[in-house]
Amino acid sequence: MIRLNFSEYCDKVHACWLGKNIGGTLGAPYEGTHEYLSVTGFPKGTRGAAANDDLDLQLVWLQAVEFSGVKNISAYTLGEYWLAFVTPHWAEYGIAKNNMRCALPPSVAGDHANVWKHSNGAWIRTEIWATLAPAVPSVAAKYAAEDAKVDHGTGEGTVASAFVAALESAAFAVRDRKELIRLAAEHIPPNSRTAITARLALHCYESGMPLREARDAIVAENADIGDGWFQAPSNVGFVLLGLLYGEGDFKRSVLAALNCGDDTDCTAATIGAVMGILLGKKGLPKDWRRHIGDAIVTACINTGVSWVPITSCKQLTERVARLAPAMLAENNAHTVLGGGKTKIDAEGAQSLRGAASCEKFAACKPYSFSMPFAFFTAEVVYRGEPVLGAGQEARFALKLYNNVKAYGNRPYTLQIRLLLPDCVRADKREFCVFLPHWSQLTQKYETEEIEITLYAKEELPPQIRVVAEITAEGHYTAGYVPVVFLNRG
């Protein structure tokens, strides 16, 4: 069990958002620089917080949790919030939203034709998941990955997002900076570029390498996936250099990350948030706090008529703190928020480890998505790009999972019918499949992947939508799963 004092938790959450604002505002003028910098503080004559998409998007996710509920947060749900509330169209944001508007579901939209899937757009917005799931890095990593799939699919951008969320969540319970990095790395595949970069940052620091040389070593390590221009592994590496070389001091940590260059508003904002969690408000420099204030300035949100505004870090903290107990309860977390001193027992310390998270990443499939229904969940896996041309064929797999914990532990015979447009035919049209339940003899409560091949006629519309209708005798729930292919010639 991990027991966090509620007042201390709220103080750390407030400091997290203040640190995010401080770092993002300080780093904004230097965004996109490739050289090593020598920034020492805020320029004279400036005052107040700058708008930053790193924080803007997290306000949208908070509203998603408030309106849709913790249980319903997934890439599939968050995609609709993207389309409703997020206004920018740059880089992966624009690619993912364009793909979703073409009817591709989230996660598939993040994978398809996305040259930015290894970039920074997701790990820079992880604090919402870490503060909602304090000291439960596996939960923070899970939600951060669902978030990141929308615009990064199965790229390094999603891996980096899970890593940073795990690190920030663990920071509510662990103060040792090197241990934080090692713990976070347990939640992602060890052969991922983000994990390799994390190990390199640790090696550089532990071997006594100067900061600038460590920064250059990280850039060289990741040169094959870009020249350092907004790629997630290197920029997460710069955050870790700030965490390590800052030696526990807020200013030194933020400046160390910022001076590595590249996506400076994001790296400085993230290390500012991490240090805020570690140090609380008392650890934030008073002059920088006065310089920024408590206000939140937004620029990337379509507020519309349904938006519930957040105008300050204090207000954001209060709304997060109201939701955190529900997040912890929904995920059966070992963390409890309450009175008394913060305590961590042996079981609680073990719950910080990341084996389960790593297994989930290993099971991730490119070009796939899931849709939950009452007593079953349907997963679709495209066999390649979601594209079908005239006279061509395309394949996808359908797999069903038994939601045994929600509606009783019983087996089902599911009837599946494909609803096809006139322009395609399929090798399977109507069939049944047995969906097993859990028992002492087997923990397998899913079907095998059911392979389906589509054959296209010579004339096709821009989008080809196949719908799998899934029913079970004696149940009124009917699941309708759209599988969309784009006609790209």
Q: Give the DSSP per-residue string, 309-359.
A: ---BHHHHHHHHHHHHHHHHHHTT-SEEEESS--EE-HHHHHHT--HHHHH
Cβ distance 328 to 320 under 8 Å? no
Strands 393-402 and 424-426: unpaired
Residue 265: the pLDDT is 96
User: DSSP character for 50?
Assistant: P
Query: Can you read off the two tokens belonging to residue 152?
Result: 């990064």
Taking Cα atoms as reference points, which of 55, 194, 184 lies closest to residue 119? 194
CA-based R_g, the chain, Å? 23
Strands 393-402 and 450-456: antiparallel
Residue 226: the pLDDT is 67
Q: Give how far Cα 380 sits from Cα of 87, 137, 200, 328, Å.
A: 29, 28, 37, 29
Residue 306: the pLDDT is 76
Residue 99: the pLDDT is 97
CA 224 to chain centre: 24
Taking Cα atoms as reference points, which of 125, 65, 137 lies closest to residue 335? 137
Strands 335-338 and 2-5: parallel
Residue 444: the pLDDT is 80
Residue 227: the pLDDT is 57
Query: Can you read off the two tokens belonging to residue 309?
Result: 């505004």
Greatest CA separation for the chain: 71
Tell me the helix, strand and coil percentages in the chain, rounded to 5: 45, 15, 35
What is the three-class DSSP state of 113?
coil
H helices then E strands: how many in the chain?
18, 12
CA 195 to chain centre: 16
Residue 349: the pLDDT is 85
Taking Cα atoms as reference points, which of 400, 394, 398 lies closest to residue 450? 398
Q: How far is the C-alpha of 468 from the C-alpha of 452, rounded, in Å?
A: 11
What is the three-class DSSP state of 236?
helix
Write down the residue that tokens 């322009």 correspond to: 423
Query: What domains appear along the chain, each with residue ranges and CATH number?
Result: 2-360 (1.10.4080.10), 365-486 (2.60.40.10)
* Whether the predicted model's global pTM rises above the 0.75 cut: yes
> Could you list the pLDDT tens digit for every one of the 489 residues in the chain?
999 999 999 999 999 999 999 999 999 999 999 899 999 999 887 789 999 899 999 999 999 999 999 999 999 999 999 999 999 999 999 999 999 999 999 999 999 999 999 999 999 999 999 999 999 999 999 999 999 999 999 999 999 999 999 999 999 999 999 999 999 999 999 999 999 999 999 999 999 999 999 999 999 999 988 655 789 999 999 999 999 999 999 999 999 999 999 999 999 999 999 999 999 999 999 999 999 999 999 999 998 867 888 999 999 999 999 999 999 999 999 899 999 898 888 888 888 987 777 777 777 899 999 999 999 999 999 999 999 999 999 999 999 999 987 777 889 999 999 999 999 999 999 999 999 988 766 678 899 999 999 999 989 999 999 999 999 999 999 999 999 999 977
Q: How far is the C-alpha of 454 from the C-alpha of 424, rounded, in Å?
A: 6
